[in-house]
Amino acid sequence: MRFQNDLSDVLRFLIDPDVPFTNNQAERDLRMMKCKQKVSGGFRSFDFAVLFANIRSFLSTASKHGLNLLEVITDALQGNVSVFFSSNTI
Protein backbone atom coordinates (compact mmCIF):
# COMPACT_ATOMS: atom_id res chain seq x y z
CA MET A 1 0.00 0.00 0.00
CA ARG A 2 2.75 2.43 0.91
CA PHE A 3 4.57 1.63 -2.34
CA GLN A 4 1.44 2.44 -4.34
CA ASN A 5 0.84 5.69 -2.47
CA ASP A 6 4.43 6.90 -2.95
CA LEU A 7 5.07 5.36 -6.38
CA SER A 8 6.30 8.60 -7.96
CA ASP A 9 8.83 9.12 -5.14
CA VAL A 10 9.96 5.48 -5.04
CA LEU A 11 10.68 5.37 -8.77
CA ARG A 12 11.97 8.92 -9.13
CA PHE A 13 15.45 7.63 -10.00
CA LEU A 14 14.03 6.35 -13.32
CA ILE A 15 13.04 9.86 -14.41
CA ASP A 16 15.58 12.12 -12.69
CA PRO A 17 19.24 11.17 -13.35
CA ASP A 18 20.38 13.24 -10.33
CA VAL A 19 18.55 10.90 -7.96
CA PRO A 20 20.62 7.79 -7.08
CA PHE A 21 19.08 4.32 -7.20
CA THR A 22 19.76 3.98 -3.48
CA ASN A 23 20.67 6.44 -0.77
CA ASN A 24 23.01 4.05 1.01
CA GLN A 25 26.41 5.62 0.27
CA ALA A 26 28.10 3.79 3.14
CA GLU A 27 27.13 0.43 1.66
CA ARG A 28 28.55 1.42 -1.71
CA ASP A 29 31.80 2.57 -0.10
CA LEU A 30 32.26 -0.78 1.69
CA ARG A 31 31.30 -2.97 -1.26
CA MET A 32 34.84 -3.09 -2.73
CA MET A 33 36.34 -4.13 0.62
CA LYS A 34 33.86 -7.01 0.95
CA CYS A 35 34.44 -8.05 -2.66
CA LYS A 36 38.20 -8.10 -2.04
CA GLN A 37 37.68 -10.30 1.03
CA LYS A 38 35.45 -12.73 -0.85
CA VAL A 39 37.68 -13.08 -3.91
CA SER A 40 41.05 -13.41 -2.18
CA GLY A 41 39.86 -14.73 1.18
CA GLY A 42 40.99 -11.64 3.05
CA PHE A 43 44.17 -9.65 3.48
CA ARG A 44 47.58 -11.08 4.36
CA SER A 45 48.06 -8.54 7.12
CA PHE A 46 46.23 -5.79 8.93
CA ASP A 47 48.64 -3.23 7.44
CA PHE A 48 47.64 -4.21 3.88
CA ALA A 49 43.97 -3.94 4.82
CA VAL A 50 44.57 -0.42 6.16
CA LEU A 51 46.47 0.57 2.99
CA PHE A 52 43.67 -0.79 0.80
CA ALA A 53 41.06 1.12 2.85
CA ASN A 54 43.08 4.35 2.61
CA ILE A 55 43.40 4.08 -1.16
CA ARG A 56 39.68 3.29 -1.57
CA SER A 57 38.77 6.22 0.70
CA PHE A 58 40.99 8.56 -1.31
CA LEU A 59 39.45 7.45 -4.61
CA SER A 60 35.91 7.58 -3.22
CA THR A 61 36.44 11.14 -2.01
CA ALA A 62 37.89 12.15 -5.38
CA SER A 63 34.90 10.62 -7.14
CA LYS A 64 32.44 12.45 -4.86
CA HIS A 65 34.22 15.71 -5.74
CA GLY A 66 33.77 14.93 -9.43
CA LEU A 67 37.49 14.67 -10.11
CA ASN A 68 39.07 12.53 -12.81
CA LEU A 69 40.35 9.44 -10.97
CA LEU A 70 43.26 8.82 -13.33
CA GLU A 71 44.48 12.39 -12.87
CA VAL A 72 44.08 12.13 -9.09
CA ILE A 73 46.10 8.89 -8.98
CA THR A 74 48.78 10.43 -11.21
CA ASP A 75 48.98 13.55 -9.02
CA ALA A 76 49.19 11.43 -5.85
CA LEU A 77 52.01 9.29 -7.28
CA GLN A 78 53.89 12.47 -8.20
CA GLY A 79 53.55 13.74 -4.62
CA ASN A 80 50.78 16.26 -5.26
CA VAL A 81 48.20 15.11 -2.70
CA SER A 82 46.77 18.55 -1.99
CA VAL A 83 44.13 18.14 -4.72
CA PHE A 84 41.25 18.29 -2.22
CA PHE A 85 42.35 21.38 -0.35
CA SER A 86 41.84 24.95 -1.35
CA SER A 87 44.34 27.59 -0.26
CA ASN A 88 41.81 28.88 2.28
CA THR A 89 41.59 25.64 4.24
CA ILE A 90 45.30 25.02 4.81
Is residue 72 in some structural domain?
yes
Is residue 5 in some structural domain?
no
What residue numbers bound the domain in which 60 lies?
24-90
For the segment 50-59, what is each residue's pLDDT rounded down to a tens digit? 888 888 888 8
What is the C-alpha to C-alpha distance for residues 90 and 85, in angstroms, rounded to an integer?
A: 7
Detail the DSSP E strand segments found in 12-72.
none
The pLDDT of residue 87: 44
Is residue 55 in some structural domain?
yes
What is the C-alpha to C-alpha distance for residues 24 and 43, in angstroms, rounded to an integer?
A: 25
| Orientation of helix 69-77 relative to helix 46-64, angle to 10° | 130
pTM over 0.75: no
For the segment 2-36, what is each residue's pLDDT rounded down to a tens digit? 777 877 777 888 888 887 777 677 777 777 777 87
What is the C-alpha to C-alpha distance for residues 51 and 59, in angstroms, rounded to an integer?
A: 12
Is residue 8 in some structural domain?
no
Number of domains present in the structure of the chain: 1
